[in-house]
A and B are shown apart, each in its own frame.
Chain A
Amino acid sequence: MLRFTYARAFKTLLWLLAAALAETVRGGDAEKSVILISTFSQQPLWDTPWRFDSVHKASGSGFVIHGKRIMTNAHVVSWHKQVLVHRYQDPRPYPAKVVFIGHDCDLALLEVEAPGFFDGLEPLEFGELPKVRSAVITYGYPAGGEQISYTRGVVSRIELQSYAHGGNRGYLAVQTDAAINPGNSGGPVIQDDKVVGVAFQGIPGLENTGFFIPPPVIQHFLKDVADGSYDGFPQAGIRLSALQNPSYRRSLKLPDNDLGTRIDYIYPIPDTQRRLREDDVLLQVGNYPVGSDGTIIYAGNRLNAAVAISEAQEGESVPLKVWRDGAAVDVALPVHVYQADRAEGNQYTLPRYYVYGGLVFTPLSRDYLRTLGANWNDGANSDLVYELYYRRQESPETVRSEPIVLSTILAHSVNANMAIHGRALVDKINGQRIEKLEDVIRAFEASTNAYDVIEFSSQHTLDCLDHAEVAKANAEILKNAGISKDRRL
Chain B
Amino acid sequence: MMNYLSRFAAVVALLVATETAKAAPDASPWERSVVTIEVTRKQYDYFQPWSKRMESVQKNGVVVGPRQILTTAEHMNDTALLRVQKGGHGTWWNGQVQWIDYHANLALVTATDAKLWDGLEAVTLADPIPAKGSAQLARWRNGQLETHKAELNRLIVKHAKLSFIDHVQLELDSEISGAGWAEPVISGRKLFGLVCSQDGINCTAIPAPFIKSILDAQKKGPYRGLGYFDFVWTRAENPNTLKFLKLEGEPRGVIILDTPSLATNSAPLRPRDLILQIDGFEIDVEGNYKDPAYGNLLLENLSTRNRWAGDSVRLKILRDGKPLDVNYTLPKAKYTDELVPEEIFDREPEYLVAGGLVFQPLTEPYLRSWGGDWRRKAPFRLSYYTQDKPTARRPSRILLSLVLPDPYNLGYQDYRFLVVDQVNGQPVSKLSDVQSALAKPSGGYDVIQFARGEAVRRMVLDAEGIEDATHRVMQRYGIDRDLVVDPAAAR
Residues of A that sit less than 8 Å from B by CB: 241-248, 250-251, 264-265, 278-279, 375, 377-379, 382-383, 385-386, 389-390, 393-395, 417-419, 450-451, 453, 459-466
Given A245-B410, A461-B234: A251 in contact with B445 (beta carbons within 8 A): yes
Q: Does the CB pair A245–B238 fall under 8 Å?
A: no
Known: A245-B461, A375-B376. 12 other contacts (CB 8 A): A245-B409, A245-B460, A248-B460, A264-B458, A265-B457, A377-B380, A378-B375, A378-B376, A419-B237, A459-B258, A462-B255, A462-B257
Asked if B164 is an interface residue, CB under 8 A from chain A, the answer is no
The interface size of chain B toward A, counting residues with CB under 8 Å, comes to: 40
Given A247-B462, A382-B384, A393-B452: A464 in contact with B241 (beta carbons within 8 A): yes
Asked if B344 is an interface residue, CB under 8 A from chain A, the answer is no
Asked if B271 is an interface residue, CB under 8 A from chain A, the answer is yes
Q: How far is the CB of A148 from chain B (nearest CB, A)?
A: 44
Chain B 226-265 interface mask (CB, 8 Å, partner A; 1/0): 0000001011011111011000000000010110000000
Given A378-B376, A379-B375, A390-B384: A417 in contact with B240 (beta carbons within 8 A): yes
In the complex, residue of chain B having the shortest beta-carbon distance to the beta carbon of A293 = B411
Which 10 residue pairs of A and B lie closest in terms of their CB atoms, listed nearest first?
A394-B453, A244-B411, A245-B411, A247-B462, A464-B240, A379-B375, A248-B460, A464-B241, A451-B244, A417-B238
Task: Enumerate chain B residues within 8 angstroms of A419, measured Cβ to Cβ.
Answer: 234-235, 237-238, 241
Given A245-B410, A245-B412, A390-B384: A462 in contact with B241 (beta carbons within 8 A): yes
Q: Does the CB pair B460–A417 fall under 8 Å?
A: no
Output the residue of B232, B237, B240 with the most chain A CB within 10 A.
B240
Residues of B that sit less than 8 Å from A by CB: 232, 234-235, 237-241, 243-244, 255, 257-258, 271-272, 375-376, 380-381, 383-384, 387, 409-412, 443, 445, 447, 451-453, 456-462, 465
Task: Enumerate chain B residues within 8 angstroms of A466, measured Cβ to Cβ.
Answer: 240
List 22 interface pairs A-B (beta carbons < 8 Å), by A numbering: A244-B411, A245-B409, A245-B410, A245-B461, A246-B462, A264-B456, A278-B457, A278-B458, A379-B375, A389-B380, A393-B453, A417-B237, A417-B239, A417-B240, A418-B238, A419-B237, A453-B244, A459-B257, A460-B271, A462-B255, A464-B238, A464-B241
Which among B243, B410, B461 is the interface contact of A244 at CB below 8 angstroms? B410
In the complex, residue of chain B having the shortest beta-carbon distance to the beta carbon of A252 = B460
Task: Enumerate chain A residues within 8 angstroms of B462, measured Cβ to Cβ.
Answer: 246-247, 250
In the complex, residue of chain B having the shortest beta-carbon distance to the beta carbon of A245 = B411
Q: Does the CB pair A241–B456 fall under 8 Å?
A: yes
Q: How far is the CB of A441 from chain B (nearest CB, A)?
A: 20
Task: Enumerate chain A residues within 8 angstroms of B411, measured Cβ to Cβ.
Answer: 242-245, 248
Task: Enumerate chain A residues within 8 angstroms of B451, measured Cβ to Cβ.
Answer: 394
Task: Enumerate chain A residues within 8 angstroms of B376, measured Cβ to Cβ.
Answer: 375, 377-379
Q: How far is the CB of B386 from chain A (nearest CB, A)?
A: 9
Q: How far is the CA of A345 from the CA of B223 in the complex (A)?
A: 55
Task: Enumerate chain A residues within 8 angstroms of B244, measured Cβ to Cβ.
Answer: 450-451, 453, 464
Q: Does the CB pair A465–B445 fall under 8 Å?
A: no
Given A379-B383, A459-B257: A390 in contact with B460 (beta carbons within 8 A): no
Task: Enumerate chain A residues within 8 angstroms of B387, measured Cβ to Cβ.
Answer: 382-383
Q: Does the CB pair A247–B445 fall under 8 Å?
A: yes
Q: Does the CB pair B384–A247 fall under 8 Å?
A: no
